[in-house]
Every structure is written in structure tokens, then in C-alpha cells.
């Protein structure tokens, strides 16, 4: 319970005065003040309920009672430095290992996805003794300086691209170089990485890692084409590098049929390093790096201890274990498959009714709807996407956000308890908004032309 209750205007004024303005709020023109939450719902200071389609961090649902109970119990018993021997960290590591390929069996616990990706970068460089990194265009891997350097989404707005960073085309089959009509886009996009590696070698440089989200999120809710990752891994390994799968956004069963997003690329595909974060603590700061014995051994061999004060503490690991229990006992992977498929099907049907919907893509409860002003040219409908988000919030109390290089992709990454009824409501509201927008556009774009017909003026609307 909050110690102080402020009026919304007071909270907003204090935030503007005390919190850095680069820390932006959702709906900055008229922010929602959220005071409590449960499941897939948020409640403001007036107890108005909002459907949350945004919070993939609160993976199994906001304030899940099983998790809050475990957290409180462990916090009351013990929370201490991870350098003391304790059961929770090893039991949790063992549970995580059971979800991953056998070779990913060594774990480093940290507190955020950014920390996890920074550590993955260190592991890759120590193991390979190389420096250079290949990343995908529009990628975002975290807010630390090391990660801004490998995040085109960020560094293009800041200091620019470092000489050791190399950007491969985003494997986007909707608006990328190789599209849905290509016979094998996975191979074609993988070959762009091969070409990039050869270019790096001609410069006398060497690759330490290929870094990619298993499902690029900031890039626009992208589903990688089949066989892309295995072929890239083959090329990267031949160059002496390692494959890092960033699962910070997509891990822990969000895709439904698999526990990890990288498994969509085939059961035989296994990254060398996997990073995880956001959903694993259901809102509690908890993240991890999983890797092989060989890579971990090289990291140990540098004789520099890796020490993280809070990473893997008893409370964090207790919460992580509780999250795994809820995913299993409530069949949230199954729910993701069923509800996600229904949501995608409804949106695909909506696409046939509204020309502004250029593409619907996704798997499980990771879905994107790309809005365009022209289907043939695939021109991003950034303004329309922003209007849809605004109206959903104001008229329907539904929280949705946008992503993609042009912010024209409506993204859906809700808590995994999202229901069939929730999906149907969201699509109904989007349909209403787009229908009204189309009608208003036709009405507002009508031009009056005066022509002579049989000796008299007539108004003709075109």
C-alpha cells in the first residue's frame, strides 16, 4: 500500500520536476495513473479498469497471488548476497535447464535483460578472443553503453555505428529485401550475414558473436523465416563466432508451442548463449544468461571473478520458481496457443475488411498488426496507428502500443492469462475505430464539383 496518496495532477507535476524527462510515460499527453492491477487488468485512481495488451513483463498476470505469497514468505525468511550457499539458486537453475537444450547448462543470474546481454557480450568475446559483433537492423538489446553500441535502434540517434559493429538486414518478409514471394527467404537473409562476415574478414577483423532477438520486437514484431537461424549459426561458427539468442522479450512460453522463441527455428537448432529477462520474475527484477560448459570455462579461465550482488538472491529465485509453477499449473503455454491463434485469425479476417491493415503476423501471444496507407507501396501509416492507440485507451480502456521503425505496428504482448473474450473485444474495438475512420475519411475527402447538365448546376461528390 502506498504511504502517500496524491492527486493525479500532483503526481504528474512531481514527476516532471523530479524524474528525468527522457523517462517517458505511456500516453504522455494524458497519462493513466495506475494504482493497482490483477491478471490482465490495470486500475486507475478512480478504479476505472483497463485491459492490458502491453505488459509482457507481468507474464503470468499482474500481482498473481501465488507469486506474491512466495515472494513475501521468502523475503520474511531470508534475502541475502548470492555468494552465500542457498538452495533456491541451484534448484531454479536446474528447473531452467530442463526447458533448454542439454548443452545450455551453465547459468549466470543477473537483474535485468540489459545486464544479461552485457554479460553475454563479455562471454562471447572471452571465449572467441574476437571483438566484432553482427546485429540485425533496428535491433534493441538494452540501455547500457555496451548494448546501445549494438542496438541500431538507439545508436543511429546517438553517436553512430562503431567500427566493430556490423548490421545485417532485418529478416522481414513483409517489407524487407526478400519478401513473402521469395522461394526461400530464410536462406536468402542468412546469406546476407555470410556476405557481411566475408566483408568483415576482408577488413582484417574477426567476429565474436551474432546477436539477435529470437523474434525481433522493436523491429516490428517480426517472425524470422524458416531455417534462418540455423544457417546463420553455421556461418558464424565457421567464422569462429558464437550465436547469441536474446529471449528477453519472447521467452518462457509466450510463443505457445515452445518454451523459447529460438525453438521455432527447429528442434535441432541451439544457440551458444541465451539471455532472458523481463517475464521471468513477473515484474520482479530477475534475468539470466544460459550458456555451454566450454564458454563458461573460458570465462572462468580469465581469473577474474564474476560477482553480482543481487543476481540470483533467494527472493528472486523463489519468485522465478513460482513463475515456472504457474506457467505449468495454469497451462499458460496452451492458453497462449489458443488465444493467440484466435486473435491472429480475427485480425486476419479484419485485414480483409480494412485496406489500412497491410500485414498480420505473430505466434502465440506475440502478434503484430502493420498499418499502411497503401498496400502496394506498403507506406507506413504511422499517424493512423497512433490514433488507434489513443482511441482504444480513451474510448475502450484498452492499452495497446506501437513498434517498428515507423511506429506503425500495433503490438500485442499481453499477460499470458489474456482470454478469448479479451481478444474478441480488442478486435471489435479496432474494427469500430477503423470503420469510423474510413467513413470520416470518405466524407471529409469528398469534393464538390460543379458541372453543367441539361442546362443546370448539379453537385457531384467524388
Report pLDDT digits (tens) over 397-427.
999 999 999 999 999 999 999 999 999 999 9
CB 248 within 8 Å of CB 140? no
Answer whether residue 135 is part of any domain: yes
pLDDT band per the 50, 70, 90 thresholds, residue 451: very low
Whether residue 12 is contained in a domain is answered as: no
Q: What is the rounded distance in angstroms from the CA atom of residue 15 to the CA atom of residue 31?
A: 11
Confidence at residue 111, expressed as pLDDT on a 0 to 100 scale: 96
The β-bridge partners of 403 are 409
Asked whether residue 157 falls in the same domain as residue 124, the answer is yes
**Pairing label, strands 242-246, 106-110:** unpaired
Could you give the CA distance from residue 191 to residue 189 in angstroms, rounded to a whole number? 5
Cα(55)–Cα(415) distance, integer angstroms: 6
Cell numbers at residue 393, please? 485507451
Q: By percentage, how much of the chain surpasses pLDDT 90?
A: 90
Q: What is the pLDDT of residues 140-178, one digit of tens each?
A: 999 999 999 999 999 888 888 999 999 999 999 999 999
Residue with cell 502496394: 376
368 and 353 part of one domain? yes
Q: Can you tell me whether residue 187 is helix, strand or coil?
A: helix
**pLDDT of 268 above 70:** yes
What is the DSSP code (8-state) at residue 404? S
For residues 385 and 400, state if they share a domain: yes
Residue 180, helix vs strand vs coil: coil
DSSP for 303-371 reads: ------SSTT-HHHHHHHHHHHHHHHHTTHHHHHHHHHHHHHHHHHHHHTT-TTEEEEEEETTEEEEEE
Q: At what angle do helices 382-396 and 420-445 cross, to 10 degrees?
A: 120
In a domain, 4, yes or no: no
Residue 191 vs residues 4, 132, 135, 209, 227: alpha-carbon distances, Å: 58, 18, 14, 16, 11
Report in angstroms the alpha-carbon separations of 312 from 35, 86, 286, 332, 335.
Answer: 29, 10, 8, 24, 29
CATH number at residue 257: 3.40.640.10
**pLDDT tens digits for range 103-127:** 999 999 999 999 999 999 999 999 9
Query: What is the tally of helices (H) and strands (E) in the chain?
Result: 13, 18
- 439 with 340, same domain: the answer is yes
Is pLDDT at 447 greater than 90 in this prediction? no
Residue 275: strand pairing partners:
246, 289
SS3 145: helix
Residues 113, 92, single domain; the answer is: yes
Last residue of a domain, one of 304, 330, 356: 330
- 370, 408 contact by CB (below 8 A): yes
- Residue 17 maps to a domain: no
Residue 203 shares a structural domain with residue 348: no
Q: For position 457, what pLDDT does the model report?
A: 47
pLDDT confidence of residue 23: 93
What would the mean pLDDT of 390-398 be, rounded to a whole number? 98
Q: How far is CA 266 from the centre of its chain?
A: 20
Q: Is the residue at 8 inside a domain? A: no
Total Cβ atoms within 10 A of residue 99: 17
Owning domain of residue 411: 25-54+332-446
DSSP letter at 10 equals H
Start-to-end Cα distance in the chain: 60
Per-residue confidence (pLDDT) for residue 442, from 0 to 100: 63
Average pLDDT over residues 292-307: 93
Average pLDDT of the chain is: 94
- Which residues have C-beta within 8 Å of that of residue 265, sequence separation ≥ 6? 214, 224, 226, 227, 228, 229, 230
> How many percent of the chain have pLDDT more than 70?
94
If asked whether residues 298 and 365 sit together in one domain, one would say no
Within this chain, do residues 292 and 202 fall inside the same structural domain, yes or no?
yes
User: How high is the pLDDT of residue 10?
Assistant: 96
Grid coordinates in use for 410? 500495433
Residue 101 has φ and ψ, to the nearest 5°, of -55, 150
Torsion angle (degrees, nearest 10) of CA 152, 414, 44, 398 = 90
Q: What is the pLDDT of residues 122-150, one digit of tens each?
A: 999 999 999 999 999 999 999 999 999 99
Query: Do both 250 and 365 map to the same domain?
Result: no
Q: Which of 382, 359, 368 is nearest to 179 (CA)?
A: 359
Longest Cα–Cα distance of the chain, Å, equals: 98
pLDDT tens string 207-242: 999 999 999 999 999 999 999 999 999 999 999 999
Q: Residue 80 has which C-alpha cell?
A: 541475502
Is residue 439 pLDDT above 80, yes or no?
A: no
Of the three residues 330, 355, 388, the one that is the final residue of a domain is 330
What is the band of 307 on the pLDDT scale with cuts at 50, 70, 90? Answer: confident
Query: Looking at residue 46, which CATH number applies to its domain?
Result: 3.90.1150.10
Please tell me whether residues 251 and 316 are part of one structural domain.
Answer: yes
161, part of any domain: yes
Reply yes or no on whether the pLDDT at 362 is more than 60. yes
Domain-located, residue 459: no
Into how many domains does the chain fold? 2
pTM value is: 0.93
> pLDDT, tens digit, for every residue of 23-40?
999 999 999 999 999 999
Residue 434 has pLDDT above 70, yes or no: yes
Domain stop point among 272, 303, 330 = 330
The CA-CA-CA angle for residues 180, 182, 187, to 5°, reads 110
pLDDT at 303: 82
Based on the fold, state whether residues 326 and 339 are members of the same structural domain: no
Q: Is residue 10 part of a domain?
A: no
Is 268 found in the same domain as 372? no
**Neighbouring residues of 210: CB distance < 8 A, sequence distance ≥ 6:** 133, 134, 135, 168, 193, 232, 233, 236, 241, 242, 243, 244
pLDDT in tens, 47-68: 999 999 999 999 999 999 999 9
Q: How far apart are the C-alpha atoms of 389 and 383, rounded to whole Å?
A: 10
pLDDT at 461: 35
Amino acid at each position: 500500500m502506498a504511504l502517500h496518496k496524491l492527486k493525479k495532477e500532483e503526481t504528474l507535476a512531481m514527476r516532471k520536476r523530479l524524474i528525468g524527462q527522457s523517462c517517458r510515460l505511456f500516453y504522455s499527453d494524458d497519462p493513466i495513473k495506475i494504482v493497482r492491477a490483477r491478471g490482465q487488468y490495470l486500475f486507475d485512481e478512480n478504479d476505472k479498469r483497463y485491459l492490458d495488451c502491453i505488459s509482457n513483463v507481468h507474464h503470468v498476470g499482474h500481482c498473481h497471488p501465488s507469486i506474491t505469497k512466495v515472494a513475501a514468505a521468502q523475503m520474511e525468511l531470508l534475502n541475502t548476497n548470492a555468494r552465500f550457499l542457498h538452495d533456491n539458486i541451484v534448484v531454479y537453475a536446474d528447473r531452467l535447464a530442463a526447458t533448454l537444450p542439454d548443452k545450455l547448462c551453465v547459468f549466470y543470474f543477473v537483474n535485468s535483460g540489459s545486464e544479461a546481454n552485457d554479460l553475454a557480450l563479455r562471454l562471447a568475446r572471452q571465449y572467441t578472443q574476437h571483438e566484432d559483433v553482427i546485429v540485425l537492423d533496428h535491433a534493441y538489446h538494452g540501455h547500457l553503453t555496451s548494448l546501445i553500441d549494438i542496438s541500431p535502434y538507439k545508436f543511429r540517434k546517438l553517436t553512430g555505428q562503431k567500427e566493430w559493429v556490423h548490421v545485417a538486414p532485418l529478416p522481414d518478409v513483409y517489407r524487407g529485401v526478400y519478401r513473402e514471394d521469395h522461394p526461400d527467404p530464410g536462406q536468402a537473409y542468412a546469406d546476407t550475414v555470410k556476405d557481411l562476415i566475408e566483408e568483415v574478414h576482408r577488413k582484417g577483423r574477426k567476429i565474436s558473436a551474432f546477436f539477435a532477438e529470437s523474434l525481433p520486437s522493436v523491429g516490428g514484431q517480426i517472425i524470422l523465416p524458416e531455417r534462418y537461424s540455423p544457417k546463420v549459426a553455421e556461418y558464424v561458427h565457421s567464422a569462429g563466432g558464437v550465436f547469441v539468442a536474446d529471449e528477453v522479450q519472447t521467452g518462457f512460453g509466450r510463443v505457445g508451442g515452445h518454451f523459447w522463441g529460438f525453438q521455432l527455428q527447429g528442434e535441432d537448432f541451439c544457440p551458444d548463449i541465451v539471455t532472458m529477462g523481463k517475464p521471468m520474475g513477473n515484474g520482479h527484477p530477475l534475468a539470466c544468461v544460459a550458456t555451454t560448459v566450454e564458454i563458461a570455462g573460458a570465462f572462468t579461465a580469465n581469473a577474474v571473478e564474476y560477482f553480482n550482488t543481487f543476481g540470483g538472491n533467494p527472493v528472486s529465485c523463489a519468485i522465478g520458481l513460482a513463475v515456472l509453477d504457474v506457467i505449468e499449473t495454469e497451462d499458460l503455454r496452451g492458453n497462449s496457443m489458443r488465444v493467440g491463434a484466435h486473435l491472429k485469425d480475427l485480425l486476419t479476417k479484419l485485414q480483409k475488411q480494412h485496406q489500412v491493415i497491410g500485414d498480420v503476423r505473430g505466434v502465440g501471444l506475440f502478434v503484430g498488426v502493420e498499418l499502411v496507407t497503401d498496400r502496394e507501396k506498403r507506406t507506413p501509416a504511422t499517424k493512423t496507428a497512433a490514433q488507434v492507440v489513443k482511441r482504444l485507451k480513451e474510448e475502450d480502456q484498452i492499452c495497446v502500443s506501437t513498434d517498428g521503425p515507423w511506429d506503425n505496428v500495433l503490438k500485442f504482448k499481453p499477460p499470458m492469462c489474456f482470454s478469448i473474450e479479451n481478444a474478441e473485444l480488442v478486435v471489435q474495438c479496432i474494427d469500430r475505430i477503423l470503420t469510423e475512420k474510413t467513413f470520416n475519411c470518405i466524407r471529409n475527402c469528398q469534393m464538390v464539383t460543379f458541372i453543367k447538365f441539361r442546362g443546370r448546376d448539379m453537385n457531384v461528390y467524388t
